[in-house]
């Protein structure tokens, strides 16, 4: 290997380790679900985005087998050459209807959808105004454009308004936000954002990856939860979280906007179609969650129960009601040690510290699933109480 490059990489790896940012992967020996195997032991899983508990569901496996038999394994093509099957169109129709929009377009992932969207619609005459805590894929998507970038303080409507004013001379203004922010589990003030968009003649883009399938009265997402309906111009989201958790992303919007994206979004034109199995199962999942509201109801019941029990046990948790439950600990070392102790108690959670979250705001992020039983939740609370006593003796 080029000795200079070797040195650069070694130094970088060293520095990642020194800063305590080196990520170790735990290797699962089982399907995704409430209980997972790691090595010889089983753990209660509180750190996946499997909100509705569908990732390992038998019905989905059956649907996958059917799709595989009927439509084959791969397409060896992009959509517009010979990679669009009936199931891809069916999935787009179902997603659009579920989300309450005229049309939908599929991508390999939500990351891809976000990379595709902005470069297709924004030019150097436009302004993109982003929430400071937006997901990496939105940040990268915006970077691919020549639009002028503005960053507003997290969920700060006064600051957003300032930025909108500063961008009034531009051809277009795009406000970009996560629907739900993954580190806090907090919900973007969509009503206020849409009001400002109207006042200052801007478009709204929302990435609803941590909400699609369970937020709002019928699980449509943050636009339903916030009562803003189709006032959001583009919603991007993933099939890789609540909706079965495999992969695939999408954008919903008006018929013309989606037609335009099919013509202009590079990740759609130059990257393979979703595999038929994935399209088939994703489509099955949309049908399931419309028909059967039980997992969604269970998810919210579990979320409320866990939040209440943790509060009663004296833990500081973020106030907004979402199955992402950050247990605020402050000190990075305490958070890390606590996650390690909980792992010994067969509770699998992950600690987050600077720079993933602000300095001094280290936390353990718990994620609740519809699959968790009351017993699982009680066991987790008990383990938290025990490890807290051991680690923070005062």
Ligand X SMILES: *Cc1c(COP(=O)(O)O)cnc(C)c1O
Choose among 113, 52, 66: nearest CA to 277.
66
Between 43 and 107, name the residue whose CB sits nearer to ligand X: 107
Handedness of CA 47, 48, 54, 58 (dihedral sign): negative
Question: Which residues is 136 bridged to in the sheet?
Answer: none
Residues 131-150 that bind ligand X (CB under 6 A): 135, 137
Residue 107: both structure tokens together? 């991508």
CA–chain centroid gap for 243, Å, is 11
Check if the beta carbon of residue 71 is closer than 8 Å to that of residue 64.
no
Closest approach, Cβ 201 to ligand X, in A, equals 26
Output b/e per residue, 203-233; b: 16+ Cβ within 10 A: bbbbbbbbbbbbbbeebbbbbbbbebeebbb
223 touches ligand X (CB under 6 A):
no
Residues 246-265 that bind ligand X (CB under 6 A): 249
User: How many residues at the interface with ligand X, by CB under 6 A?
Assistant: 13
Between 236 and 387, name the residue whose CB sits nearer to ligand X: 236
Does residue 283 have an active-site annotation? no
Between 51 and 343, name the residue whose CB sits nearer to ligand X: 51
Residue 325 has phi, psi (to 5 degrees) of -120, 100
DSSP code per residue over 282-342: HHHHHHHHHH--HHHHHHHHHHHHHHHHHHHTT-EE-SS-SSEEEEEEE-HHHHHHHHHHH
- Establish whether 271 is an annotated binding residue: yes
Does residue 30 have an active-site annotation? no
238, 257, 265, 271: residue in contact with ligand X (rule CB under 6 A): 238
End-to-end CA distance of the chain: 54
Does residue 247 have an active-site annotation? no
- Establish whether 318 is an annotated binding residue: no
Burial of 319 (0-12, 13-18, 19+ CB in 10 A): exposed
| Residue among 210, 223, 336, 388 flagged as catalytic | 210
307 touches ligand X (CB under 6 A):
no
Residues 203-222 that bind ligand X (CB under 6 A): 207, 209-210
| Residue among 241, 322, 336, 361 flagged as catalytic | 241
Closest approach, Cβ 181 to ligand X, in A, equals 8
| Residue among 182, 226, 273, 369 flagged as catalytic | 182
75, 91, 110, 327: residue in contact with ligand X (rule CB under 6 A): 110
Q: How many CB atoms lie within 10 A of CB 298?
A: 18
Between 140 and 390, name the residue whose CB sits nearer to ligand X: 140
Positions that interact with ligand X (CB under 6 A): 109-111, 135, 137, 178, 182, 207, 209-210, 238, 240, 249
Binding region: 110-111, 135, 182, 207-210, 238-241, 271-272, 365
Binding region for substrate: 135, 365
Active-site residues, by number, are 182, 210, 241
């Amino acid at each position: 290997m080029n000795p200079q490059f070797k040195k650069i990489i070694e130094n970088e790896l060293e520095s990642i380790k020194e800063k305590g940012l080196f990520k170790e992967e735990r290797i699962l020996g089982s399907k995704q679900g409430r209980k997972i195997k790691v090595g010889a032991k089983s753990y209660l899983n509180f750190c996946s985005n499997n909100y509705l508990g569908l990732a390992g569901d038998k019905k989905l496996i059956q649907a996958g087998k059917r799709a595989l038999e009927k439509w084959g394994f791969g397409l060896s093509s992009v959509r517009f050459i010979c990679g669009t099957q009936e199931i891809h169109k069916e999935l787009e129709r179902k997603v659009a209807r579920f989300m309450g929009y005229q049309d939908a377009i599929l991508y390999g992932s939500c990351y891809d959808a976000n990379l595709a969207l902005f470069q297709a619609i924004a030019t150097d005459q436009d302004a993109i105004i982003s929430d400071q805590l937006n997901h990496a894929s939105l940040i990268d998507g915006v970077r691919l454009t020549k639009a002028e970038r503005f960053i507003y303080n997290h969920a700060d409507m006064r600051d957003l308004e300032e930025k909108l004013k500063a961008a009034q001379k531009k051809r277009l203004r795009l406000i970009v936000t996560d629907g739900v922010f993954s580190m806090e589990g907090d919900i973007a003030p969509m009503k206020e954002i849409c009001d400002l968009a109207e006042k200052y003649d801007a478009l709204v883009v929302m990435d609803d990856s941590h909400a699609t399938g369970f937020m709002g009265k019928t699980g449509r997402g943050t636009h339903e939860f916030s009562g803003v309906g189709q006032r959001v111009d583009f919603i991007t989201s993933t099939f890789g979280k609540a909706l079965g958790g495999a992969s695939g992303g999408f954008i919903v919007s008006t018929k013309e906007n989606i037609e335009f994206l099919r013509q202009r979004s590079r990740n759609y034109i130059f990257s393979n179609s979703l595999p038929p199995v994935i399209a088939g199962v994703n489509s099955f999942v949309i049908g399931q969650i419309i028909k059967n509201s039980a997992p969604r109801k269970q998810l919210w019941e579990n979320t409320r129960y866990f939040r209440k029990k943790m509060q009663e046990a004296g833990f500081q948790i973020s106030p907004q009601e979402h199955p992402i439950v950050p247990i605020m600990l402050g000190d990075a070392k305490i958070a890390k040690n606590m996650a390690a102790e909980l792992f010994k108690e067969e509770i699998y959670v992950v600690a987050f510290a600077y720079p993933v979250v602000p300095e001094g705001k280290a936390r353990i992020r718990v994620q609740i699933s519809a699959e968790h039983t009351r017993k699982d939740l009680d066991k987790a609370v008990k383990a938290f109480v025990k490890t807290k006593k051991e680690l923070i003796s005062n």
